[in-house]
Amino acid sequence: NGHVASTLPPALEILEVSQSPGIWLAREFLTNAECDHLMALAQPALARSTGYDLQSGDSRETEIRTSFH
């Protein structure tokens, strides 16, 4: 009959969280399995964030910038 079933997801709800910097939130954009897969792909490239040490001028790990989430 020429009818093709749609596999498109329902419309996304996109919320503006901040104008400056521009941050938007798209709920249910990815499934939990898709999120897990992307995190597993990125894991080898992830590193702990560092902060600027005012006394030495070096970058060093800090408890303020954790990058745990």
On whether the CB atoms of residues 59 and 50 are closer than 8 A, the answer is yes
Q: What is the pLDDT of residue 1?
A: 52
List the pLDDT tens digit at each of the 69 positions of the chain. 556 666 666 678 889 999 999 999 988 888 999 999 999 999 998 877 788 888 888 888 777 766 654
The answer to whether the predicted template modeling score (pTM) of the entire model surpasses 0.75 is no
Residue 11: which of 27, 33, 23, 24 has the closest Cα? 27
CA angle 23, 25, 48 (to 5 degrees): 70
Q: What is the pLDDT of residue 19?
A: 93
